[in-house]
Structure 1
Amino acid sequence: MIDVTIDDDRSIRTVALDRPAARNALTVAGLESLEAAIADADESVIYLTGNGPAFCAGADLEAVADLDGDRDRAREFARLGQRVARRIEASPAVVVAGIDGAARGGGLELALACDVRVGTPESTYGEPGVTFGLFGAWGGTVRLPRVLGEGNALEFALSGRTVDAEEALQLGLISRLEDDPRSVAAEIASNAHDALSALKRRIRDDAERATQERREAAAFADLLEAHADDVDAVLE
C-alpha cells in the first residue's frame, strides 16, 4: 500500500501511496503504514505523493461503511487519521506533498499537514464529504482555516466543490504549481539539512512570542557555530 524509495544521496525519502485502482484511498492499514514510513525517516526531506492518476481520494469509503455507524469505532478512525497528520507535521524532515490528480477529503487533509504543497496543472482539490453527510476529520477543520483564512475555508468546505490547480494556487491550498513537483523537494534538499530542520521547528513553533524569539536566537547561534566556515567561504 505504501511504496518507499530513498535517493542515492539519502537526502530525500519518497513515500508513495500505492493503491492506484482505488485512487490511493486509505484504510486503517494504509494509515498505519503511512505513519510508519514517516516515523522511520532519517532523511532531510520526505516527498509524499501518490502512484497512478490521483494523489489520494481520502478515506476508503468501504472502510468507512465497515464502521457500521459505531460511534466509538468512528472516533478511533478519525483519531488515527489525525495522528498520522500530526506525525507528518511534527516530523524533523521537511515534508513536501507532490499532488498530481485528485486530492480529496482525507487526502487533502494529509496534504495540509505537509510543510510544502506542490501541485501539477492537472491536480484538483476538494472536501466532498459534506455532499453525503460527512466531513473530513483528520485535522482538516483545524488546518484549513490556518491555510486559507476562515472565510475561504468555510466557503470551500461548506460548498463541497472541487477547485482546479490555478484556483488552489490563488487560495493558498498549494504554494507552487510545477509539472514535476519532485523538483521542489530536490531544491529544498540541496540546502543545509540542519538549517532545514531548525527552520521547520521555528516556523511550526506555537509558543508565545517571547519564547519563540528566544528559541529563534538560540537556533541561529547553534547554526552559526556549526557553519562558521561556510559563512566565511561565502565572503571570499
Structure 2
Amino acid sequence: MPYRCGVCSKEISSQARHVAHMKIHSRKELFDCTVCLKKLSSGTSLRVHLRTHTGEKPFECTVCNKKFSQSNELRVHLRTHTGEKPFECTLCNKKFSNGGHLRDHLRTHTGEKPFECTVCKKTFSRGGHLRRHLRTHTGEKPFQCTICNKKFSNSSALHIHLLTHTGEKPFECTVCNKKFSQGGHFRAHLRMHSGEKPFQCTECYKKFAESGTLRDHLRTHTGEKPFECTVCHQTFSHRQGLRIHSKTHMT
C-alpha cells in the first residue's frame, strides 16, 4: 500500500522513500526556478517542476503509451489499467485509485467546501469545480470542437457536444427503448416512467421531475423575468413566453 505525505499529500511507494521525502519539508534551503521564480524544497523537486515549462514527459505508460512528467503520475495512471484502488473511505468503504480522489470524496461526508470564488464567494468542495465555475465569470472557453470549432467552458460539455456530430446515443431506456446522447436527459426521461420527482420547491413544497422545471417554477415566487425581447424590451419569466411573444413582431 502506498504512503501519503501528511504535508504535501504526495503518494510515495515505500516506507524508506516516505522517510526520505519527509526530510525535504524540514530543510531550510530553497531552490529557485529561473523561469517563474517559484521556490522548491529540493533539487529533485526543481527538476520535476522545470518540466512544466519544458513540456518534457519522460515517463511512458507501457500499456497505452500515454506520457507523464512525473513518475508518481504514471504510477497513479497505471491503476486505470489494473483496476487497483488502494485508498478506501473509512465511512462508506468506497475505494479510489489515488489519494486526491479520496480526499475530495471525504468532503461529501463532512460538507467541507474549502475552495471559494473570489468574485461571488460561492464555495466548492473541489478545486476543479472552482476552476470550472470561474469560467462563468471570465467567459473563458478553452475546450474547442475540432469539427465545427465551437468552444466550451468545460470538457464534459465538449464531450456531450461531440455526440451531436457522431449521432451516438449510448443511453437506452430499458422500458421503451428510447435512446439519448446525454446522461442527464436519460435520467430525466426515466422519471417519466417511475413518477419520481426529486426536485422540491422550498417555498411551496411542490415537486418536479426536472431541475430546469423547478428553476422555472421558482420565478413565480421571485418575480424574476430574465428573458428580454430585443425589439420592445418586454421581459418574461419563461423562455417559451418570450418565443411566443417574439412572433407578434413578425406579423
TM-score, normalization by structure 2: 0.21
Structure having the higher helix fraction is: 1
Higher Cα Rg, which structure: 2
Give the structure, 1 or 2, with the largest relative contact order (CA under 8 Å, sep 6 or more): 1
